[in-house]
Amino acid sequence: MLKDCCSVCNFADDGFIGIQFQDGLPHVSFPRGYTISDDDDTVRKDILGLITVLQRFSNQREGQNRIGDGEDQTAFPILSYQYVIKDFIAHGYYTEHEVEHRLNDRGKINWKRTIQQVQPQVDNGNVVYLNFITKRSINKANILTRIHEFCVYESFSKLGWLYLSTAFLPKKPSLRFNKKMFLATLNDALKNTFNSDKKLLFSSMIEIVNCVEEQADLKDFQFGVSRFEYVWENLIDYVFGESNKDIYFPHAKWHIIAGDRTESSALEPDTVMKHDGKFYILDAKYYKFGITGLSAHLPATSSIQKQITYGDYIAARHFAESGDIYNAFVMPYASREGDEPLKFVSVGTADWIEYSPETENYKYVLGILLDTRHIMQTYTRHNGREIMNMSQMILDSIRAYRAEADTVQ
C-alpha cells in the first residue's frame, strides 16, 4: 500500500517535508497534523496535493529543491516531470505532423493553392477546375519523438507511480542520452513553434534533460522543504489574509539629536483578516501543541506581546475601533472523525495585564487549531467560507472566555 511509504513529521522541529527517493524507493513526509488515508487512490491525491502546496507556498521556483536552509541542492524540476507524464497519458508519444500538397491526390482540397497554381477551364461563363491541389498530413518518425521517448521514460521511472495504480513503465528509449544534441534539437523546436501546448512540452523536456546530467544517480532525488513553517505561514495568509496588509505594519522611529528623524524596519504580522468590519490579526505558528497538548509547545510571551503591539497600532491608527480588533495564533492539528476542522484551545495574555471587562479584545490572544489536511485540500484565495468560520470561532471563544472570567470575578 502507498500508505506504507508515507509518514507524518509531527515532532521534529525542522523535519524534511516532501518526497525523497533512496535507492529507487520513494518516501513521502507530510507536515504536522496531516492524516494519511488507507486508500491508495486517496493517498495519490494527497501526495499530488502536497507537491502543489510546496510548489505554490514555499516561494520556490521551478528547478529549486529547498527553501530556507542555505544548502546547495541539485535542482529537481518536478512540475516538468509531471507535465510530461500527464501529456503522455493524454496524447501518447509526440509526433511531428507535416503537411504534403499534391495534384489530383486524395485529401482535402486546398483552394488557395489550387487557385494560385491550377489553370481553370471556362464553360458558358463559369470557371471550372478540373484539377485540384490537395493536402494531407504525413507522420514522420523524427528525432523529437525519440527525445520524447527518453523524457517519458525518465519521468515515469520517477513519478509514474503517482498517476497509475499499475506498475507501468513505458518502453525504454531507443536513443542514447546526448545532452548537447537533445538541447539543441529541443531549443530549435521551441523557437520555431507558436503552439502554447508544444511550448510547454518542449520547455518541460528541456528541464528534464538538464536535470538528468546533473543527477548521476537517477534513482535518488528529493523535492521538498526542511522548514514547513514558511509554507504554513504563506498558506494561512493566502486563505485568510488581506492583500494590502503592509499598511498595518507598525514602524518605530528614531529621533536623532541634531539629525533627521528616521524610520526603522517594520513589525510584520503574518496575516490580517477582515470580516464584517472587524480586524483579526493571525499569527501562523507551526508549533507542536496540536499534537502533544503540552503548554511548552504554545507561543511564548514575546509572541503574545508582539500580537498586542499589532492591535495597539491598528487601534491607534483608527483602522478599527479597539473593540473590533482580535488576536489569534493558528496552529496545526489532526482532527478526528466528526470533529470540526477549526478548534479553540487556549487564551494567552501578557501577565502584567489583569482581566477587566473594559480591556480590549486584542489583548487576549487566542490559540486556534486548524486541521492540516483540511486547509491543504480546500485552500482558495481569500476564502469567504473559511474566513467566516475563523471569525465566528474567534468571536465565540473570546465571548466564552470573558463570560468565564466575569463569573470568577
For position 167, what pLDDT does the model report? 67
By percentage, how much of the chain surpasses pLDDT 90?
49
At 140, is the pLDDT very low, low, confident or very high (cuts 50, 70, 90)? very low
pLDDT band (50, 70, 90) for residue 307: very high
> Between 254 and 346, whose confidence is greater?
346
Tell me the three state secondary structure of residue 364: strand
Lowest mean pLDDT among 62-66, 181-185, 219-223, 339-343: 62-66
254 contacts: CB under 8 Å, gap ≥ 6 = 261, 262, 263, 264
Given a cut of 50, whether residue 66 has pLDDT beyond it is: no
Q: What is the pLDDT of residues 246-285, one digit of tens each?
A: 888 887 777 777 666 666 667 788 899 999 999 999 999 9
Q: How far apart, in Å, are the Cα atoms of 258 and each of 118, 246, 247, 264?
A: 91, 30, 30, 18
- What pLDDT is recorded for position 261? 65
Over pLDDT 70: what percentage of the chain? Answer: 84
Q: Calculate mean pLDDT across residues 11-20.
A: 85
SS3 55: helix
Judged by average pLDDT, the poorest of 112-126, 199-213, 243-257, 323-337 is 112-126
| Chain position carrying cell 517519458 | 152
Give the residue-averaged pLDDT of 139-156: 84
Report the Cα 180 to chain-centroid distance in Å.
32
User: What is the residue whose three cell numbers read 504534403?
Assistant: 100
Q: Which three cell numbers stand for residue 352?
A: 502584567
The pLDDT tens digits of the residues spanning 36-60 come to: 998 888 999 999 999 999 989 986 4
Could you tell me which residues come within 8 angstroms of residue 43 by beta carbon, excluding any fewer than 6 positions away?
1, 2, 3, 6, 36, 37
Summary mean pLDDT of the chain = 84
Q: Phi and psi at residue 183, in whole multiples of 5°?
A: -65, -40
Look up residue 138 and give its three cell numbers: 504525413
pLDDT band at 64 (very low <50, low <70, confident <90, very high): very low
Alpha-carbon torsion (185, 190, 191, 193), positive or negative: positive
The larger pLDDT score, comparing residue 186 to residue 67, is at: 186
Q: What is the pTM of this model?
A: 0.78
- Which of residues 231 and 132 earns the better pLDDT score? 231
The pLDDT tens digits of the residues spanning 381-395 come to 999 999 999 999 999
The least confident of 8-12, 67-71, 160-164 is: 67-71
Q: Provide the 3-class DSSP secondary structure of residue 316.
A: helix
Tens digits of residue pLDDT in 279-302: 999 999 999 999 999 999 999 999
What separation in angstroms does the CA of 317 have from each of 48, 266, 308, 322, 351? 44, 15, 14, 10, 25
Residues in CB range of 17: below 8 A, 6 or more apart: 9, 29, 30, 31, 50, 54, 224, 225, 226, 228, 231
Which residues are registered as beta bridge partners of 278? 275
Q: Which residue has the higher pLDDT, 337 or 82?
A: 82
pLDDT digits (tens, 9 = 90+) for 90-110: 999 998 765 555 666 566 777
Residue 136 pLDDT class (50, 70, 90 cuts): low
* Span 2-11, average pLDDT: 90
